Amino acid sequence: MRLIIFLFFILLIYPSKAQLYPIFEEKNIGYVDSTGNIVIPCKYDAEVVFYKFNIKNKYFIDFTIPHWAYFKNNSVTLKTDKFSSSNAGNIVRYSLFDDKGNPIISDSEDKIYGLSEGFAVCIHYLKTFQKVYDSSYSYIDIESKKKHFKYEFATSFNDGFALVIENDEYYFINKNFEKVFKELKIKDAKNFLEDLAAVKVDTLWGFIDKNGNWAIEPKFKLANTFNNGKAKVLLRNNFDYIDKNGKILEEELNFSEGLAIIEQNGKYVFVDKNNNIAIEDKFDYASNFENGLAKVWQKNELYYINQKGEKIHSILKPTLYEKLLKNIK
């Protein structure tokens, strides 16, 4: 009984984060959960771009959407209704949705996205007859709806910090909107993730910890954020993966969430760290697992699978997939 109470207490402290995944009908976007249930129907504009790529003389269709339209931190931003004005034309509005598809903020003229740690990023566009001339970034407290400060650029909070630009200067702020790590002369940077942030000083990139100290000294030409304990960096003329000690990983396969993709006789399969086949199905092409699901291409369809290899939901149904294959140059 004491064990059950303890486990319940742990669940209260560490609630699970929901995750939603994009699906499409024509150029409209919607979202499903990890079981394939449609949470947000396909009726929103997310500025999706479909493109064609080639692997060993076979063409496939994939998509890109803006960062604000990816579901992160239990929220996603979508374009909602357009309100007509006889003088200004159509005025685009944005809504911030939660993991149940309910609006947190509705029909905002400002783009509000990146909800994290109680704050969202708000972009205010300066317009004249709907032509965008400039923009400013601020933070909005989701509970009070109060806006805090204005910057030339701002990112969402991660690990208690956010990256902003003011007067062409990069720096990190804490949740009191105070400048931190003042001794660093930052030329460029990326958000904290897994307790480290990639930072460029002079011409080289390194990684700082949450005290602003160098965890990995600047020595890379390029550096990405850490994901699953590793980061992709450019050292000399080669891209490599490093661990949090800065050691180059000799791992030949790119594992994500315990699985990697290998090619077998022109098909793609998922293997575990013992190189055993983890999913029996063989796909025309596949991408790594991310947040519990992976994208796979099979028989002119793009869809999600879970780690059991079960089809969760179609991303692009065959009719749309074939149409895009035919029409995209």
List, for residues 59-83, the tens digit of each pLDDT value. Answer: 999 999 998 999 988 899 999 866 5
pLDDT exceeds cutoff 50 at 5: no
SS3 219: strand
Residue 18: pLDDT band (50, 70, 90) is confident
In a domain, 242, yes or no: no
In a domain, 119, yes or no: yes
What integer pLDDT is reported at residue 7 of this predicted model? 33
Tell me how far apart the alpha carbons of residues 132 and 125 are, in angstroms, rounded to a whole number.
6
User: With the C-alpha atoms ordered 195, 182, 140, 121, is the resulting torsion angle positive or negative?
Assistant: negative
In a domain, 328, yes or no: no
- Count of other CB atoms within 10 angstroms of residue 294: 24
Q: Which tens digit of pLDDT belongs to each residue from 108-160?
A: 989 999 999 999 999 998 766 656 568 899 999 999 989 999 999 999 999 99
Long-range contacts of 171-177 (CB under 8 A, 24+ apart): 172/197, 172/212, 175/117, 175/118, 175/119, 177/139, 177/148, 177/149
Entry pTM: 0.81
Compute CA distances 36 → 6, 44, 165, 256, 306, whole Å: 32, 18, 39, 21, 10
State both tokens at 100. 């149940």
- Count of other CB atoms within 10 angstroms of residue 197: 27
Long-range contacts of 138-147 (CB under 8 A, 24+ apart): 139/177, 140/105, 140/112, 142/104, 142/105, 142/115, 142/118, 143/118, 145/105, 147/122
Average the pLDDT over 221-234 and give the result.
92
In a domain, 235, yes or no: no
In a domain, 51, yes or no: yes
What integer pLDDT is reported at residue 284 of this predicted model? 96
In a domain, 289, yes or no: no
Residue 226: pLDDT band (50, 70, 90) is very high
Amino acid at site 23: I
SS3 321: helix
Q: What is the mean pLDDT of the chain?
A: 88
Average the pLDDT over 79-93 and give the result.
64
Residue 4: pLDDT band (50, 70, 90) is very low
In a domain, 169, yes or no: yes
pLDDT exceeds cutoff 80 at 90: no
In a domain, 293, yes or no: no
Tell me how far apart the alpha carbons of residues 322 and 66 are, in angstroms, rounded to a whole number.
24
What integer pLDDT is reported at residue 12 of this predicted model? 35
Residue 6 lies in domain = 2-193
SS3 279: strand
Q: Which tens digit of pLDDT belongs to each residue from 300-324?
A: 999 999 999 999 999 999 999 999 9
Q: Which comes out higher in pLDDT, residue 156 or 2?
A: 156
The number of distinct structural domains making up the chain is 1
